[in-house]
Chain A
Amino acid sequence: DIQMTQSPSSLSASVGDRVTISCRASQTISGYLNWYQQKPGKAPKLLMYATSNLQGGVPSRFSGSGSGTDFTLTISSLQPEDFATYYCQQGYSTSYTFGQGTKLENK
């Protein structure tokens, strides 16, 4: 199975900051990498699919990049509603493995 590793595991930032979260796959997954946001007690929400395609309704301050094994989610200017946990997920092959998550906290 493909392993997904996110870094950092947690991150403290302030409103207005530019934030970057990384995700690395144990083998190439081409561009088939998706990102989710989850808030406490809620189901995850899809942010981005296939590396850089923004899901409908997701603000344009979110962007994604990468290919092969290394991928990045960037929030250009952090807003109060962005404090949450973020997960990457490979959509290349079954099993559709997730990264372990990155918790974004208010500094």
Chain B
Amino acid sequence: EVQLVESGGGLVKPGGSLRLSCAASGFNFADAWMSWVRQAPGRGLEWVGRIKSKRSGGTADYAPPVKGRFTMSRDDSKNTVYLQVDSLQSEDTGVYYCTWDIFGSGSYYFAYWGQGTLVTVSS
């Protein structure tokens, strides 16, 4: 059974930092491309970033609002993907979901989601 378990969220002051973690199980994590998707309170879904497998280069791509402030990394020995979030702003408040990127019929989609971890940026 595929499981994605996020942790690391919390209350942080503007300008602060957090490191979010996502522990994966039930699939071949080393070959997986992983994304983070966030959702501000009462708002829609927003893709944050994606990290490729090391076999595919291990590089990460980010949405424009977070580029330069957020950094994704992975530790395949721990089946864990991380999201380092720096220079946090109030607009970054929301639930952060970890997802496994599936490529099927030509499309990238998110078939598996964690339960989410809440980040609150407030003074």
Residues in chain A within 8 A of chain B (CB atoms):
1, 30-34, 36, 38, 43-46, 49-51, 53, 55, 87, 89, 91-92, 94-101
Contacts and interface: CB of A to CB of B under 8 A. Distances in A.
B97 A96 contact: no
B114 interface: yes
11 contacts: A32-B107, A38-B45, A43-B113, A43-B114, A44-B37, A44-B110, A50-B105, A50-B109, A91-B106, A98-B46, A100-B44
A46 B111 contact: yes
A53 to B, nearest CB: 6
A86 B116 CA distance: 18
Contact of B61 (A89, A94, A98): A94
Contacts of B27: none
A95 B63 contact: yes
Contact of A43 (B63, B105, B115): B115
B104 interface: yes
Interface of B: 35, 37, 44-47, 50, 61, 63-64, 97, 102, 104-111, 113-116
B45 A89 contact: yes
A34 B50 contact: no
A86 B42 CA distance: 14
B74 to A, nearest CB: 17
B110 A46 contact: yes
Contacts of A96: 35, 47, 50, 108, 110
B44 A98 contact: yes
Contacts of B35: 96
Contacts of A43: 97, 113-116
Given A44-B110, A55-B111, A96-B108, A87 B44 contact: yes
